[in-house]
Amino acid sequence: MSTASCSLTMSGRVRLISASYDAQRYDSLSGYAQDLIEVIDAVGATDVLLVAHSVSGMISALASIERPELFKKILMVCPSPRYVDDGDYVGGFSRDDVLGLIAGIEANQPAWAASLAPAVTNRDDLPEVTDRVRGYFAATPQHVAKHFARVVFLSDVRHRLAEVPASCVVLQSTGDIICPPHIGSYLRDHIRDCELVELKSAGHFVHLTEPALITSHIQALL
């Protein structure tokens, strides 16, 4: 595929995201959970083993509460039930941090993407992965990126964790600025059936930096 055709493909994807994004539906994580349920229903699946990264872990948790018969096990990679500090709970961000992040997207999204990508991947030895993540951040339509960031980083699923019916496995990496390592222990202690696996790997995007490691855990569950 030529460079020109790649650019057109990316441009087409950006237009599709921008046109189909429903800000009202996605004003909470429940909208995404409903999407997940609809996809599973569409393919007629049950007893699903779901692999979910970051906030998708909590989206999957909410979906399993809504439709427990659909999920057998959820493998969560670097998830967090709340990103903002709250009393004794340390999520890793203050509300001002989140508002600053959103302001950065609005002021200069390419510069924001370029500064955030190396911090969240935390792997100087894998610049190609950092550049891939930077590209994802930069290509997302700005209004979608801002709204998504606000919804995700200000979400709070802690009060629903005890309701999660599915068996869960949390894969927690080190050096993750999005999801500090102690969050894995918090989830283990608040979800009824939850195993914590601490990975010897850094960063929030461990499924991109060390895909074989994540694959081995998926295979173990299968």
Lowest mean pLDDT segment, chosen from 5-9, 11-15, 73-77, 167-171: 5-9
For 72-96, what is each residue's pLDDT tens digit? Answer: 999 999 999 999 999 999 999 999 9
The answer to whether residue 217 is catalytic is no
More confident residue, 112 or 7: 112
* Catalytic one of 53, 167, 176, 201: 176
Residue 175, phi-psi category: left (phi > 0), alpha (psi -120 to 50), beta (remainder)? left
Q: What are the distances in angstroms from CA 38 to CA 41, 43, 70, 111, 200? A: 5, 9, 11, 36, 35
Binning pLDDT at 50, 70 and 90, where does residue 17 land? low
Q: By percentage, how much of the chain surpasses pLDDT 90?
A: 88
Sign of the dihedral through C-alpha 45, 168, 83, 135: negative
Task: State the pLDDT at residue 20.
Answer: 75
* Catalytic one of 155, 173, 204, 207: 204
Distance CA 12, CA 170 (A): 35
Task: State the pLDDT at residue 126.
Answer: 96
Q: Could you tell me the CATH number of the domain that includes residue 152? A: 3.40.50.1820
Judge whether 10 and 139 are in contact, CB under 8 Å: yes
* Catalytic one of 53, 54, 80, 201: 54
- Number of structural domains (the chain) is 1
Binning pLDDT at 50, 70 and 90, where does residue 3 land? very low
CA atoms within 13 A on the CB side of 39: 11
Strands 194-202 and 167-174: parallel
Tokens standing for residue 81: 């039930």
Average confidence score pLDDT of the chain: 92
Residue 140, phi-psi category: left (phi > 0), alpha (psi -120 to 50), beta (remainder)? beta
| E-only strand ranges, 26-166 | 48-53, 71-77
3-state SS class at 84: strand
Binning pLDDT at 50, 70 and 90, where does residue 219 land? very high
The answer to whether residue 147 is catalytic is no
- Please determine, for residue 6, whether its predicted confidence score (pLDDT) is greater than 90: no
- Please determine, for residue 143, whether its predicted confidence score (pLDDT) is greater than 80: yes
Binning pLDDT at 50, 70 and 90, where does residue 5 land? very low
Query: What range does the domain containing 113 cover?
Result: 3-221
Task: State the pLDDT at residue 215.
Answer: 97
Distance CA 14, CA 109 (A): 14
For 59-75, what is each residue's pLDDT tens digit? Answer: 999 999 999 999 999 99
State the Cα angle at 125 between 56 and 183, rounded to 5°: 35
- Please determine, for residue 211, whether its predicted confidence score (pLDDT) is greater than 60: yes
**Mean pLDDT value across residues 86-107:** 97
The answer to whether residue 204 is catalytic is yes
Sign of the dihedral through C-alpha 85, 172, 186, 55: positive
- pTM equals 0.90
